[in-house]
Amino acid sequence: MDASVQTKTHNLAKGDTLLAVDNVSLSFGGVKAITDVSFDIKKGEIRAIIGPNGAGKTSMLNVINGFYHPQQGRITFKGETRQKMRPYVAASQGIARTFQNVALFKGMTTLDNIMAGRTLKMNTGFFWQLWRHGPAMREEVEHRHIVEEIIDFLEIQAIRKTPVGKLPYGLQKRVELGRALAMEPELLLLDEPMAGMNLEEKEDMSRFIIDVNTQYGTTIALIEHDISVVMDLSDRVVVLEYGRKIADGTPNQVKNDQTVIDAYLGVPH
Amino acid sequence: MHVLYMVLIDPFVQMVSAPDLFIQTIWEGLVAGVLYALIALGFVLIFKASGVFNFAQGMMVVFAGLTLIAFQDMGLPAIVALAASIGVMYLLAFSIERVVLRPLVNQPDIILFMATFGITYLLIGFGEMIFGGEPKEVNTKAFWLPQGSIEFPVLGGFVQMQKIDIAAAIIAGLMIAALAFFFQKTRIGRALRAVADSHKAALSVGISLNQIWVIVWFAAGIVALVAGIMWGARSNVSFALQVVALKALPVLILGGFTSIPGAIIGGLIIGVGEKLGEFYWGPLMGGGIESWLAYFIALGFLLFRPQGLFGDKIIERI
């Protein structure tokens, strides 16, 4: 791996703050998506972001990886504070993500999709690429090894050459996870990784998430609606409602928090 | 009865009775087809990578051709003139990305399409200002392109082929093979396809849209330059050429907007269909059907196979 990109990371030990979001507010015209939210993600943990529909969870992920630029607040990643992220910076600094409604390269095969995740790790220039032999070829082979490892890890060998548009939804989600893993991220953002899955698929996905976290030490932030999954997987949970943070703590703390219960079940008037 | 005979029987009788003429016509069609294919290829490149139909592609052919001629007229040796023209095409790609595409990221495709109209008219005005309006000829000798023609006997007659046409076909073939390979097998090729499929997913893996757009417009510029040279070597490069370039539209409908092989085969079918139509059926309708037959064929295709011969079939999950 490229040493210069990674130097900063090694200074962070497990439990240090990897990412901090401070007083972030985001609005679209008159609509306030996020209002003054602060929380942090510690290195090595699985951090869940939950909340009812429209609470601003996905907006929060979009702020973290630079798709949305908040009007107020700061984002600190690996000790570097920014007013806003840019997608390219986020990707090159080690933030990978998946999307709520699977965003794969539909016309491309599983293999090519995951290889696309290696884009930033590959750096032969344009003219070597034109020639393809020599450095570009060597590089292609080398990265193919890593991609094959990911394919083995996710148990998707059989669909290696299938165009992903043809795959069932559950497998598409898995390929998307593979593409994110190919970036060797430090922070992996998962937007509803289990939406629309059956019980078996959910169990598989939970297992992959835990394995990624323990084997590779990847920090994970995930949005999920299935509360039992969230309680099992995550170390800490932040709860959003109407764009505001209403609770933050361990799954048990959050579960017994009256505001959270009210937010999910409604308050009698 | 007579009309039916003239339309359905007589042309085929003519084809069989004079096979050399028939083969000559097909060859002429293939030659025209190669040029259509080259122009269509420029469209496909940009459409694949950005989902934008680049109306300016035809004008880019003219502009590239005239740039090269201008450099040659300045007395530069062929190689230097060629390199300088490639440089100009890069500059063009770079400025289009910076000035036109970048401010329009995430806008609907139709907005980008309209922007390419703007580019077309800008290039026309700018080109006429620098190069003047009159048609110009490419100095083919300087490019080691062969001249003259070869004749060989076929079935009791003769077929004549211009050497320049043969050269054009070979160069176009090589170029297409190289592009297809580049798109399929390299990191940048993969990134190009990725951008075409999903902007946000491409951004999330760290692909730079700006860089990809420069590369793809540059590639389309080089294809335009080759098309310009080939066209200019056969006749003149003039602003009227950009109307001919619109023939690429039926070619694309035939071949599919996203397929490189489709552009080639579509180009050849349109070229051959046009010449055969003109030669054998044209006289029945007073000639000149060459100018609209291509669109007619495309219309037929739209009815039965709207994604084209090789285009991606659009499957929507509902």
Tens of pLDDT along A132-157? 556 667 778 888 888 999 999 999 99
Whether residues A124 and A1 share a domain: the answer is no
Do both A162 and A226 map to the same domain? Answer: no
Domain boundary among A182, A203, A224: A182
- CA gap B260, B266 in Å, rounded: 10
Last residue of a domain, one of A182, A209, A235: A182
Distance of CA A32 to the CA centre of its chain: 23
Residues of the domain holding A130 = 106-182
Considering the domain architecture, whether residues A191 and A223 belong to the same structural domain is answered as: yes
Q: What is the pLDDT of residues B182-197, one digit of tens each?
A: 777 777 888 888 887 7
Looking at beta carbons, which residues of chain B come within 8 Å of A111?
Answer: none
Whole-number mean pLDDT of chain B? 83
Are A18 and A150 in the same domain? no
* Residue B21 clears pLDDT 80, i.e. is over it: yes
A67 close to B (CB below 8 A) = yes
Q: Which residues contact A248 (CB under 8 A, 6 or more apart)?
A: A39, A236, A237, A238, A239, A254
Instruction: Say if residue A13 is in the same domain as residue A66.
Output: yes
In a domain? residue A255: yes
Is A267 near chain B, with CB under 8 Å?
A: no
**Tokens, residue A179:** 């593409």
Last residue of a domain, one of A165, A182, A199: A182
Contacts 24+ apart (CB under 8 A), B15-19: B15/B280, B18/B157, B19/B154, B19/B155, B19/B156, B19/B157
Q: Are residues A121 and A79 in the same domain?
A: no
Q: A128 and A189 share a domain?
A: no
| Number of compact structural domains in chain A | 2
Distance from CA of A253 to the nearest CA of B (A): 33
B221: confidence class by pLDDT, cuts 50, 70, 90: very high
For residue A193, the domain's CATH number is 3.40.50.300
Please check whether residue A150 is in contact with residue A181, taking contact to mean a CB–CB distance below 8 angstroms: yes
Q: In Å, how far is B49's CA from the nearest CA of chain A?
A: 12
Q: Which chain A residues are closer than 8 Å to B211 by Cβ?
A: none
Q: What is the pLDDT of residues A38-75, one digit of tens each?
A: 999 999 999 999 988 888 999 999 999 998 999 999 99
Inform me whether the C-beta atom of residue A187 falls under 8 Å from chain B C-beta atoms. Answer: no
Give the SS3 label for residue A201. Answer: helix
Kindly state whether residues A177 and A190 are assigned to the same domain: no
Paired with A236 in beta bridges are A47
Segment A154-160 long-range contacts (CB within 8 Å, at least 24 positions apart): A154/A178, A154/A181, A154/A208, A156/A110, A159/A110, A160/A109, A160/A110, A160/A111
pLDDT on residue A5 = 41
Q: For strands B149-154 and B157-162, give the pairing.
A: antiparallel
Contacts of A104 in chain B (CB under 8 A): 197-198, 201
Give this prediction's pTM: 0.77
Q: Do A122 and B205 touch (CB under 8 A)?
A: no
Give domain status of residue A100, yes or no.
no
Residues A13, A79: one domain? yes
Q: Answer yes or no: is pLDDT of A179 > 90.
A: yes
Q: Would residue A218 count as lying in a domain?
A: yes
In a domain, A45, yes or no: yes
H-helix or E-strand spanning residue A109: none
Q: Which residue in A119, A176, A181 has the most chain B C-beta atoms within 10 A of its own C-beta, making it the best mutation to test that interface?
A: A119
pLDDT at A16: 85
Q: Which of A97, A115, A132 sits opposite B204 (nearest CB)?
A: A97
B277-315 per-position pLDDT tens digit:
888 888 887 777 888 888 888 888 888 877 777 766 655
Packing angle of the helix pair B109-131, B57-73 (nearest 10 deg): 20
Do A208 and A264 belong to one domain?
Answer: yes
- Which residue among A87, A91, A105 places its CB closest to the CB of B193? A105
Domain chopping of chain B, boundaries: 20-304
Distance from A183 to chain B by nearest Cα, in Å?
7
- Asked if residue A28 belongs to a domain, the reply is yes
| CA proximity to A186, closest of A42, A83, A3, A53 | A42
- Chain A residues lying within 8 Å of B206, measured CB to CB: 87-88, 91-92, 119-120, 183
* The predicted structure's pLDDT at residue A269: 63
CB contact under 8 A, B196 and A183: no
Report residue B37's pLDDT band, with 50, 70 and 90 as the boundaries.
Answer: confident
Fold of B20-304: ABC transporter involved in vitamin B12 uptake, BtuC (1.10.3470)
Q: Specify the amino acid at residue B181.
A: F
The larger pLDDT score, comparing residue A18 to residue B150, is at A18
CA angle, B310 then B315 then B316, to 5°:
150
pLDDT at residue B181 tops 60: yes
Taking the C-alpha atoms of residue B305 and residue A163, their distance in angstroms, rounded to an integer, is 22
In a domain, A101, yes or no: no
| ipTM score for this prediction | 0.81
Q: Could you tell me how far CA B238 lies from the centroid of its own chain? A: 16
What pLDDT digit, counting tens, does each position of B66-120 carry?
999 899 888 888 889 889 999 999 999 999 999 988 888 767 778 888 999 999 9
Q: Which residue, chain included where needed, has tokens 């694949």?
A: B48
Nearest to B205 among A116, A139, A165 (CB): A116
- Indicate whether A126 pLDDT > 60: no
* Residue A113 shares a structural domain with residue A245: no
**How high is the pLDDT of residue B313?**
62
A99, part of any domain: no
